Amino acid sequence: MTDSAKSTGQRHVPVLNLSLAAQPRTAVVTGASSGIGVATARHLAAAGFSVVIGARRLDRLRSVAEPIGALAIELDVTDQVSVDRFCEQIPACSVLVNNAGGAVGLASIEQADVGAWQTMYDTNVLGTLRMTRALLPVILASGDGHIIIIGSIAAHEPYPGGGGYNAAKFAERAVASVLRQELLGRPVRVTEVDPGMVQTEFSLVRFGGDAKRAAEVYKGVTPLTADDVAECITFAATRPSHVNIDSLIVLARDQAGAQAVHRRTT
């Protein structure tokens, strides 16, 4: 510890690689036009990353990018052409946050809409696959890469009505685990962040824009915010290179499982 650090009581953190420290690392965030994606872009930018954000709603994406100096590029993770076009514009990437995803409906398996299941699988699972496969060469080339997959408590606990979303998130969790094993020994970390109840547009989208039904999800509960989850993502991304946060399940204090929720009546 230096004398100046002793005098201030601050912890001295050695810089292990000056060449990496000299230039901001590039972080790519998908699904960054709302919710967790927006918050993650802001937190990573505040942490010193050069941020590239992607989503389908380019107008909203630009409004997110401008205040933080991020690069906004239109992206649909369900469309390989869109993914290729997006990734062609990214010559360097250290951190990929696979955030794009979501749920559609709350129907039982008996009444399941196959199209809704296909949408959830294509967005959550194949979207993660497309982005990871496309950017992996530049992530490896960075010499200090990190792939972060945003899952859900639904990847750990199935619940009635959640069959399609459960299946997609269980699959995404499997992708994270396999990827971690396949990249073992190479300069890439893999982290899975699985939030519980977060008050974003998630429920509004799930219920087809029914604001009243979406609001009922959070009634009597203090849920997580998008910033709460983004702070966890940024924590994982800013650990020393040799430290891999394997997985994080992040729940509100009012939630003890996928359906175990404490609701206040007053």
3-state secondary structure of 206: helix
CB contact set of 27 (below 8 Å; sequence gap of 6+)? 44, 49, 50, 51, 52, 93, 94, 95, 96, 97, 237
Q: Is 218 a catalytic residue?
A: no
Whether 90 contacts 52, CB under 8 Å = yes
CB atoms within 10 A of CB 152: 28
Could you give the CA distance from residue 238 to residue 178 in angstroms, rounded to a whole number?
A: 23
> Going by DSSP bridges, is the β-strand pair 50-55/71-74 parallel, antiparallel, or unpaired?
parallel
Shortest CA distance to 41 belongs to which of 54, 59, 60? 54
Angle of CA points 203, 177, 139, to nearest 5° = 90
Take residue 193 and report the two structure tokens written for it.
Answer: 């962040």
Take residue 254 and report the two structure tokens written for it.
Answer: 């009012």
Whether 35 contacts 43, CB under 8 Å = no
Whether 228 contacts 198, CB under 8 Å = yes
Q: Choosing from 121, 159, 165, 218, which is the catalytic residue? A: 165
CB atoms within 10 A of CB 247: 19
HSE-CB of 178 using CA atoms within 13 angstroms: 9
Q: What residues act catalytically?
A: 165
